Amino acid sequence: MSGCAARRYVAAALSRCRARGLPLWEPPPARGPRALGAGGAAAIQLLPRRHLSSRNRPEGKVLETVGVFEAPKQHGKYETGQLFLHSVFGYRGIVLFPWQARLYDRDVASPVTEKSENAAGHGSKEVKGKTHTYYQVLIDARDCPHISQRSQTEAVTFLANHDDSRALYAIPGLDYVSHEDILPYSSTDQVPIQHELFERFLLYDQTKVPPFVARDTLCAWQEKNHPWLELSDVHRETTENIRVTVIPFYMGMREAQNSHVYWWRYCIRLENLDSEVVQLRERHWRIFSLSGTLETVRGRGVVGREPVLSKEQPAFQYSSHVSLQASSGHMWGTFRFERPDGSHFDVRIPPFSLESNKDEKTPPSGLHW
């Protein structure tokens, strides 16, 4: 990525952060060859939200420099300990480790164009998956209150103890981030991210680049919880400039009333790729179970909200859960959006499989180190 292209990419992300009222991150003006990616680097500066005026300008306060932007990687992976700014949601974070997922993008032409029918009779074109890198990351707790375009700031939930088959617990501030959403930066701060797991998982080592390395506890935690953390499939489809991305996760099986109940969580991101303001009004799900049942779910909004997607706030993300009395199934459906003139249109949710792990293990009942 050229210096100009990298700077434009960063500037666009910062503009979205300011528009959403997130903490203000600001690179200084380019100064010839010392612009980002052109032999130099741009400093990241942060101003707490309480010091922002209605026009997002400091009121007698000096911006605090927290790091230096680096050019985003077009090839290869980011390493454990890489600091970053999320290009869509604006938070600071740090990479724990990567996941290699299969991205099934229905917007990309595939050599396989034949139509197929799944077991529930839902027509869909076959899509060839391609490898795509995601990262397990920690979110800086100072930024969590400002992430308004997400229903929660964690993307990882676990089944709780065996006494209650429906009980769940979450690890706050643990997220999955796509490679293209990473805006990398460096910092001289030995504890640049505030998160209760930061110092438990990472160790500062000034001889390394980046200068944060994995502790044995992080490696042990990743290995122990791998089946419940692993991100394997990502599904994406765009309808009328609204892109829907779905990531399903298998959570495990529990016994309830002499039957087996299989649980999954799924994370959904909605993105408005156009400048027209739209609002999510309804959801319509179809859930097919291998046991032969087909369930229809309709309702207002998602997770109690009806998010507005605009040029300033183009994305919304949420997570939910589903359980089946079978080891696998499928989900698909539509979201109904409303335009400013009152007209409606339906956006397809890409069909995705709910698959259980063949080497079934007992889901964790707490954090394992």
- Which residues, 6+ apart, have CB-to-CB distance to 54 below 8 Å? none
- Split at pLDDT 50, 70, 90, the class of 55 is very low
Q: How far is CA 359 from CA 7, 220, 250, 252, 363, in A?
A: 46, 19, 12, 11, 12
* pLDDT for residue 57: 44
- Split at pLDDT 50, 70, 90, the class of 116 is very low
Strand pairing category for 233-239 and 92-105: parallel
138: helix, strand or coil: strand
Is 208 a residue whose pLDDT tops 50?
A: yes
Q: Among the residues of the chain, which ranges form H helices? A: 3-19, 198-201, 216-229
Distance of CA 364 to the CA centre of its chain: 22
Residue 327: which of 225, 254, 235, 224 has the closest Cα?
254
Is 161 a residue whose pLDDT tops 50?
A: yes
* pLDDT for residue 339: 97
Phi, psi of 234 (to 5 degrees): -130, 130
Separation of alpha carbons 168 and 367, rounded Å: 13
Separation of alpha carbons 346 and 342, rounded Å: 13
154: helix, strand or coil: coil
Tell me the pLDDT tens digit for each residue of 61-92: 566 778 899 999 998 999 999 999 999 999 99
Residue 338: which of 367, 365, 306 has the closest Cα?
306
Mean pLDDT, residues 151-158: 70
Please report the beta strands in 211-339, taking only residues with DSSP state E, as ranges in sequence order: 212-214, 233-239, 242-256, 259-272, 278-289, 294-300, 308-309, 315-324, 328-338
Residue in this structure with the two tokens 């209760």, named with its chain if needed: 196
* pLDDT for residue 361: 53
Is 35 a residue whose pLDDT tops 90?
A: no
Separation of alpha carbons 309 and 238, rounded Å: 14
Q: What share of the chain is helix, strand, coil (3-state, %, to 5)?
A: 15, 45, 40
Tell me the pLDDT tens digit for each residue of 247-268: 999 988 888 778 888 999 999 9
Among 13-22, 114-123, 350-359, the range with the most confident prediction by mean pLDDT is 350-359
Separation of alpha carbons 65 and 60, rounded Å: 16
Supply 21's token pair: 């009222």
Residue in this structure with the two tokens 């010839």, named with its chain if needed: 32
Which pTM was predicted? 0.81
